[in-house]
Amino acid sequence: MPQKIALKDQNLESRVYGARTVTAVCLVVFALGIILARYYSLQVSQYEIYRTQSERNRVQLQPLPPKRGLIYDRNGVLLADNSPSFILSVVRERVQDLDATLAELAQLVPVSRSDLERFRKKLPRTRPYDPVPLRFRLTEDERAILAVNRHRLPGIVVDAQLLRRYPHGELFSHALGYVGRINEREALEVDETDYRGTFHIGKVGIEKYYEDELHGTVGYQNVESNAHGRVLRVLERHDPLPGADLVLHLDYNIQKAARDALGDRRGAVVAIDPHSGGVLALVSTPGFDTNLFVNGISTRDYSALRDSPDVPLFNRAVQGAYPPGSTVKPFMGLAGLESGLMTPESTVADPGWYKLPGESRRYRDWILRIRGTGHAPQVDLKMAIAESCDVYFYDLARRLTIDRMHDYMTPFGFGSRTGVDTTNERPGVMPSSEWKRNAIGQVWYPGETISAGIGQGYWLATPMQLAAATSVLASKGQRRVPRLLKTLDGEPVTAPPREPVTATPEHWAAIFDGMREVVHGERGTADYLADGILYEMAGKTGTAQVINIAQNEVYNEEEVAERHRHHGLFIAFAPLEAPTIAVAIIVENGGGSSAAAPIARAVIDTWLFGEADPTIGQNDNG
């Protein structure tokens, strides 16, 4: 039988074809709809957003950090300047794989663990497209390596920036302070806009106190860049305003003379112009190289400074609180005269010791261990100051009482901060019965008044306080807040005046006369300073006990550990007839005032004549 042949179903094929055509057209229309909707979104509804992002990829707003102001001494010697340095930074938004990029960078140039830690801490606090510093002070070789490999490192930026430099390092370490990298706490405190592009801030001293003046005002520029972040051209620029230049009252020559005279000993020297209040020298030894802190001190270097028994980071000039010892006797004498308890001619019997009425305890005079007796059968004010007679001031302290002593001493600045323009100043202690009750919760005892009368016991003062008080003596009562800053961008800065200390001319003359005898008298405790001197100096020696000595024991320096020996102090001003400089010195564990007094002569000689006399002798008087 013949086989049947199936014929095409034209109607079915037509329907299938039509359905497929409609489906295809719908898919095409749907796809075109999506494209048109996306096009509308990109070009109309979100046009500004994407245009901004596009511009940001092409045009960037870059901060221009200001140049930090320079610091000079009174004679124009540069104390702090800025040196060019190259910084390796990363723009996070231009880096596809940050970890891989950092690993590759570490293969090209040294990147320490501390560098990475600081980088990662700063990363989340940085604005988009702002560079985050990774390495400072790149060498020429490192810059060349990065330049050759730049095409493989998108988002890596090498910029030049001025970094702080201290030409004299340790010499002005405590006076100037230093700058360092902005830490996390400081980043939250400072104005983010003002510090864009700035990685450093004043940490301590003048650098911190005058941070606002030294920092300047940030500028900015709009730049066009390619896909790798390389700048093609500058579209707009607003230059930053540099920080103000500071001229200080500090004198390089005096600072160096004081530092050289202190040598390797621990101590401090402060010199003040009694008329202007300008601080001519502020020395604390040992010091440290401030340049180490600018870009982050290494763990090893910081540990060496932190763990040193000499505590080089401690600013003894404004933070060290010491018993002022016999340096307070001229102030005590003036208090006795002004209170009417005595006259310059009044005398006190001096057997070499003193007893409170009704008590058996003897308070010894320092001269007793040398002569076996007192300074003289009867001692007046001039002899008491010149020979540092403890008995005279024991008796005066008893009659004054501790509360009147407090009231007479506080106008000289004892017990409160001087207000000098630096950081971390301590107030010291000017004791009173109320102070002891509030601070310790105990009543005041009469024997404590005796100790305070010669600057011992609870009485504590900083070298800055002693220098400021000595300048009040030198100017016969004129008081100014001590100031390191002399001019700001060429404009003079005047030290604020304070209420003067008043006394009769006869009483000022009596104190001056006694202090003159300290240096120029035959039995003055610093008579060795007068050898070859070309001017008259007023001075006062002082010794501060570090450890207690029992009533019947004798202090033998050779048997005492070096760090338990007495501190040596000295205050002075000169020339006597018209003082232009007041000085306070402390030498820790120096054994007595003979360690401190020659330093004053070196400082004053340098101030008056430009150099110190290297042949100044020494003496063991206290």
Cis peptide bond upstream of 309, omega within 30: no
Q: How many C-beta neighbours within 10 Å does residue 260 have? A: 15
Structure tokens at 365: 């005079």
Question: CB–CB of 590/265 below 8 Å?
Answer: yes
DSSP labels, 343-364: -TT--EE-SSEE--TT----EE
Q: How many C-beta neighbours within 10 Å does residue 97 have? A: 9
What's the DSSP call for residue 70?
A: P
Distance from C-alpha of 292 to C-alpha of 614, rounded to nearest angstrom: 33
Torsion of CA 197, 203, 205, 207, to 10 degrees: 0
Distance from C-alpha of 375 to C-alpha of 388, rounded to nearest angstrom: 9
Note if 326 is an active site residue.
yes
Determine whether 401 is exposed, middle or buried from the number of CB atoms within 10 Å of its CB (0-12, 13-18, 19+): middle
Structure tokens at 542: 């002082």
DSSP labels, 458-489: T-BB-HHHHHHHHHHHHTTT-EE--BSEEEET
Report helix, strand or coil for 19.
Answer: helix
Distance from C-alpha of 513 to C-alpha of 42, rounded to nearest angstrom: 92
Nearest to 230 by CA among 367, 57, 377, 3: 57
Distance from C-alpha of 539 to C-alpha of 474, rounded to nearest angstrom: 10
- Give CA separation, 336 vs 174, 301, 346, 381, 414, in Å: 37, 51, 11, 10, 17
Q: List CB contacts of 609: < 8 A, sequence separation 6 or more.
A: 534
Question: CB–CB of 387/365 below 8 Å?
Answer: no
User: How many Cα atoms are found within 13 Å in the side-chain-facing hemisphere of 308?
Assistant: 16
What's the DSSP call for residue 278?
A: B
Element (H, E) at 148: helix 140-148
Nearest to 565 by CA among 587, 585, 550: 587
Nearest to 194 by CA among 164, 215, 179, 211: 215
User: How many Cα atoms are found within 13 Å in the side-chain-facing hemisphere of 272?
Assistant: 34
Question: CB–CB of 153/104 below 8 Å?
Answer: yes
Query: Where do we find the tokens 């330049």?
Result: 147
Nearest to 573 by CA among 595, 540, 543: 540
Question: CB–CB of 272/478 below 8 Å?
Answer: no
Which is catalytic among the residues 173, 276, 284, 326?
A: 326
Distance from C-alpha of 314 to C-alpha of 377, rounded to nearest angstrom: 45
Residues with active-site annotation: 326
